[in-house]
Every structure is written in C-alpha cells, then in structure tokens.
Structure 1
Amino acid sequence: MADLALDRPVAPSQEGTSAWSRLRASRGWLGFWFMLPAALILILFLAYPLVKGIWLSFTDTRIGRGGAYVGVENYEWLWDDSVFWLSVFNTLLYTVIASVAKFGIGLYLALLLNKRLPFKALIRSIVLIPFVVPTVLSALAFWWIFDSQFSIISWSLRHLGLLDHNIDFLGDPNWARACVIFANIWRGVPFIAITLLAGLQTVSPSLYEAATIDGATPWQNFRHITFPLLTPIIAVVMTFSVLFTFTDFQLIWAMTRGGPVNATHLMATLSYQRGILSGSLGEGAAIATAMVPFLMLAIAISWFGLQNRKWQSG
C-alpha cells in the first residue's frame, strides 16, 4: 500500500503555480473571454463617443475646423441661453408626462391581456404594432394626422359641426407639445405592456387562489400580491422608458424639428441643431453632455431602489 501511495501523481501545489496559471484555470477566466467582445463593442461605440463628446464640449471646435481648449466657456454660454433652458423644461415635461402615461396605460393593458380573453394572441400582436413600426414612419403618420390643412381630426370635427375652422396642432406651442407627447405615448406603451405582461405570467396563480379564499378583493390582490412582485420589473422597465424618452430625437425632429418657436425642442434636438446644422460642435457637445447628469440620476434611482428591497414588501 505504501508503494501504491508513492506511485500516485502529486497535484501541483498552489504555491508552485503562477498567478497567470491559476487565472487561466479558473471559471472566471472563461467568463472573461465571453464578455470581452461585448466589452470591446461597448467601449468602441459607447465609452469612446461619450469621452470624445465631453472633450469636445470644452473646445470651440467647428465642423471642418479643429478647435482649441476653451474651458467651461460653452457651459457659461448655455447658462445664459434662454433657448437651452426652454429645451431643459421641454425635456423634463415631455419625459415626466409621457413616462407616467405610458406606465399607467401599459400596466392596464398588461393586466387586461393577462386574463382569459378570446383571440388573446391576436390582440397581443396588435398591441405590438406601434412598437414595431419604424419611428420615422410613425412620426410622418402623426405629422399628417395633425397637419393644419389636412388633419383628419379637424376634418371630422368640422363635419360634425363642432368646429368651423381647422386646428393648427403643430403651429401652436401648447398643441404641439401635446401632439408630440401623444405620439411618444402611442409608440412606448407596447414596450411597457408586453414587458409587464411577461412579469405577470411569472406570478404563481396559487397566491391569488389563497388570497381569494381568505376573502381578498381584486384590489387587495393587486395591492398586496401583483404590485409587490412586479416592482423589480417596473423599476427596470421604467428606467429604460425614462432613458428612451429623455433622449428621444427621431420623433420630435420628424414631426416639428423643435418648433414652433422652440416649443418642442428637447435637449437632444437642440444639440443636433447647434452641433451639426449650425456647425458648432463644441456647443452641441456641451448640450449633449448636460444630459448626462439627468440620465445618471435616473439610473441611480433605479439602482438604489433595486438594492434596497424594503419597498418591495408592499
């Protein structure tokens, strides 16, 4: 037995192996190689443009001409720019109203589609149509719907005798804001509805059965079962909704191009107008960089909310 024990190969000790060998043998090394291509893509298409944009915001670079470092001059200019502050107000108003409305309508649709309905698969497909249609096509369709001369809404109201003239939807500042918010809600509701519906289908029916036996009402089921179990999904989906709405560009630019009189200019559209159309890359980059704190705040609220799970208890 002693001879057999001596003939067994001795495993190399951890002290005799290098850190590089231990790293290659670990499971984390395999995960690193799998994550590396995605990390390189994120660095190339997200991190580098972000850093480059922040650098440009501290220069007076223009299209076709290199710029010099000017410090915070672009930000000082924006601080006294009334159009910039109007775009900040428009962006916050647009984001808050559209996000709240999308959440309310999306949650209602998710609860409705989670029930036993005839032709439920067909209804789900129809709900997805606004999200599937390209943004520019949706914007052009709404542009025709709200056109000052050919609006189907004005035409219908006139033939019903409720109006004697067309409504200039996109020519009036308040109407224009309402129109672009409505268009964003129409496009964003399917994303929230389908995501919440997926979350609802993970809730065990036995929880509702037990609550019903105990005499719980439908509202109490929602308040104490559905909503607490959906809160992690709600936090994630609303974070994405806020980010997408805050940075919306295509819908606004295709419908109003920021008009009338800058009433629908968001920070994204103003950045494009100043940086690309006007050629002031430094100023446009400063406006785009000014969006980062708002976006980081939205992400931080979601992150800390998910970390602190006390609010999930209902």
Structure 2
Amino acid sequence: MTENTAGRLAGADLHRPGFYDRLKINRNWLGFWFMLPAALILMLFLAYPLGKGFWLSFTDAKIGREGAWIGIENYEWLGLPWWDDADNVFWLSVFNTLLYTVVASILKFVIGLYLALLLNENLPFKALIRSIVLIPFVVPTVLSAIAFWWIFDSQFSIISWSLRHLGLLDHNINFLGDPNNARMSLIFANVWRGVPFIAITLLAGLQTVSPSLYEAATLDGANRWQNFRYVTFPILTPIIAVVMTFSVLLTFTDFQLVWAMTRGGPVNSTHLMATLSYQRAILAGNLGEGAAIAISMVPFLLVAIMISWFGLQRRKWQQGGQDD
C-alpha cells in the first residue's frame, strides 16, 4: 500500500459519519423519526391509562382512596357463569356486548356495502346524495341519542303515534322499557350512525377498481353477480377487513349512545361492558372493580384485531405477496 493510498483511507475514516449521523440520514429510519411524535402521544394518552387501569384492577381502590393490592380478587368477584357467586350483571353485559357488536356490525356491513355499490352507479345528483348519506356520521352522538330517545319514547314515540293513527296498533310500543325492544332499539341507532362510515369507505375502494376489469369479465360472459363475486369483492377484501375491524372495535367499546339512551336499563338489561364499567367505577366509586371489567374487554378486542390481521396476511399470501 502506497503512502498516498494510506493517507486517503485515513482521511475517509476521519470523515465517516458516526452512528447518530447515519440514523439522521438513513432512509430506513426516516419513517421512525416521523412516527416518533405520534408514538409518544399514544404512549402518553393510551398506553399509560391502559397500564394504570390494569394496575387498578388488582387493587381495592375507591374514589378518594389509593387502595391496596388484592391480587385477582376483583376478577374472582366477577366469576365464571357457572359459579354460584358470579356477578350475573357482568355476564349479562358480556352477552349484551357480543350481541350488540355482532348484529350491528353485520347489518352495518350489508347496508353499507349495498349503499356503496348504489352510490358507485351513475345516479342523478350523486354528489348531493353522498353528502346526505354522511349526515348520520357527522351528527354528534349525544344529539343522535337524544333524537332516538324521543323517537322510541314509550308515551310520545312518533312510530307508535303513526301506527296508531293508521289503525295498525291500539297501544304504544314500549321500545325502551322492554329488554328485547331496548336492545333492538340500541342496535338500530348504532346501525344508523355507523352505516355512512362503512359506505363511504367502501365507495372510495370501489373508485379504485379499473373499468377494464369489468369489461374483460363481461366479454368472458360474466353477469353482474359474477362481476361482484370475482372482481369487486376480491379487490375490496383488504379494505373490508380494515373498515370492519374499526367498526367492530368502535361498536364493542360503544358508551355514549347506550348511556344517553338507556343508562343500561331497564333493570341492567342493556348494559354493555363499557357502561357497566363506568357505573361501577365512577358512579359507585369502586375503581378496582370497574377497572377489572374494562380490562376484561381487552381479550375480546385482541381477538377481533388478530382475526383481521390473519385475514389480511392470508389474502396477501394468496396474491403471491411476501411478508415484510
């Protein structure tokens, strides 16, 4: 090695950027730096409350008192359905939450997909119709709940009044006073609010489908149903998985609509896990018990997320993609 070559190598070593400098200019780390502020905010406002709630669920904390460590006593108090000392109201709230989530999510998907397909056609005043469809989603939840509370009122319900004047009924329908009617009323209100989000999201996905795919399928003899089954639906699958995951999570953790309309009544028959947790923790003052109910929601939410994630991965594998 010549003296000049050795000098050039030594100079290169002196000017080589350090580890921190490489992180600043490395494109692989660029996304990390952009996401860091949002991640810190999420850690502060989401991860910390979740960790705090997890800790409280193992204590007998009450409002105004720290509480002592009691292990899994709060979870034992909730109990399993076949235990004699099980909290029957808690398990009723689990049933209500699952029923509310499954039925509302299925209805929102079916109606939302139908509206998306309809709005994707060449309709007159299409832009105006799309704007009208969004109205239920942009109206504040509490205002929607108050409106439905009036619509389903046992004495002044516009539905009962109309049916009575048409001669179809001789008495008012007890929408919110009967457990089954109250559950169905809440599901109807949730579907009314949630359909626009799914419809507009799926409509955006439909806009990305190339018309040439439909033309090719039609030339091969495909009818409208086959176009949807073999062209539209496979392309929409990733979007459906994401939007339905959000829909299930938001429906499962719904609080405002239920609390504003029924407060969990009549006789705890419409309590969801979220509303029961609020009632036990804030109104009754048992922070530990309320936190245990809230933490009990986490496994259900993780299952919903994992189903969506595995569905997307399976779809990616079928399309010949490779995991990152």
TM value normalised by structure 1:
0.94
Measured in 2, the distance between the counterparts of 1:63 and 1:263 equals 26
The answer as to 2:60 corresponding to 1:60 is yes
Alignment partner of 1:288 is 2:294: yes
Q: Deviations over 1:14-62 (max 9, x none)?
A: 9965433432332244433321210110000100000000000000000
Matched AA of 1:247: T
Could you say which residue in structure 2 is the equivalent of 1:109? Answer: 115
3-state SS of paired residue (2:12):
coil
Gaps of 5+ in 1: none
Work out which of the residue numbers 245, 250, 254 in structure 2 matches 1:244.
250
Q: 178, 182, 200: which is aligned to 1:176?
A: 182
Query: What letter matches 2:23 in structure 1?
Result: L
Distance 1:206 1:13, change over 3 A: farther
Residues 235 and 18 of structure 1: is their aligned pair in 2 closer, same or farther, counting only changes over 3 Å? same
> Any conservation in 2 of the 1:57–1:284 contact (CA below 8 Å)?
yes
User: Counterparts in 2 of 1:175-194, with a 5 A limit?
Assistant: 175-194=181-200
Please give the secondary structure, in 1, of the residue aligned with 2:59: coil
| CA 184–10 in structure 1, closer or farther in 2 if over 3 Å, else same | same
Partner deviation per Cα, 1:50-86 (whole Å, 9 max, x = no partner) = 0000000000000011100000000000111000000
Structure 1 residues 216, 12: CA separation in 2 closer, same or farther (over 3 Å shift)? same
Work out the CA distance in 1 between the residues paired with 2:221 and 2:59. Answer: 67
Change (3 A) 1:142 1:48: same
1:213: Cα distance to partner?
Answer: 1.2
Which of 248, 252, 255 aligns to 2:261? It is: 255
State the distance in 1 between where 2:74 and 2:251 align. Answer: 25
Deviations 1:142-180 (A, max 9, x none): 000000110000000110111111111100001000000
- Displacement, 1:101? 0.2
Cα displacement string for residues 107-136 of structure 1 (whole angstroms, at most 9, x for unaligned residues): 000000001000000000000000000000
Structure 2 residue 154 is matched with structure 1 residue 148: yes
* 2:12 paired residue number: 12
RMSD (Å) for aligned C-alpha atoms: 2.2
Query: 1:35 is aligned with what amino acid?
Result: M
Gaps of 5+ in 2: 80-85, 320-324
The letter for the 1-side match of 2:311 is G
Deviations 1:210-254 (A, max 9, x none): 111111100000000000000000000000000000000000000
Residue 304 of structure 2: aligned partner:
298
1:176-201 CA distance string (max 9 Å, x none): 00000000000000000000000000
Contact 1:229 / 1:312 at 8 angstroms: preserved in 2? no
Q: Distance in 2 between matches of 1:288 and 1:7?
A: 67
Whether 2:35 is the aligned partner of 1:35: answer yes
Aligned to 1:231: 237
- The 1:116–1:312 alpha-carbon spacing in structure 2 relative to 1, beyond 3 Å, is farther
Q: Percent identity?
A: 79
Are the equivalent residues in 2 in contact too, given 1:275–1:282 (CA < 8 A)? yes
Q: What SS class does the counterpart of residue 40 from structure 2 fall into?
A: helix
Is 1:160 the counterpart of 2:176? The answer is: no
Distance 1:311 1:122 in 2: 40
Distance in 2, matches of 1:205 and 1:104, equals 23
Please, what TM-score do these two structures have when normalized by structure 2? 0.91
Correspondences of 1:62-101 after superposition (within 5 Å):
62-79=62-79, 80-101=86-107
Amino acid aligned to 1:221: N
Amino acid at match of 2:55: W
In 2, Cα distance between equivalents of 1:129 and 1:11: 66
Match of 1:47 in 2: 47
Q: Which amino acid aligns with 2:43?
A: I
Relative to 1, partners in 2 of residues 1:11 and 1:50: Cα closer, same or farther, differing over 3 Å? farther
Map of 2:322 onto structure 1: none
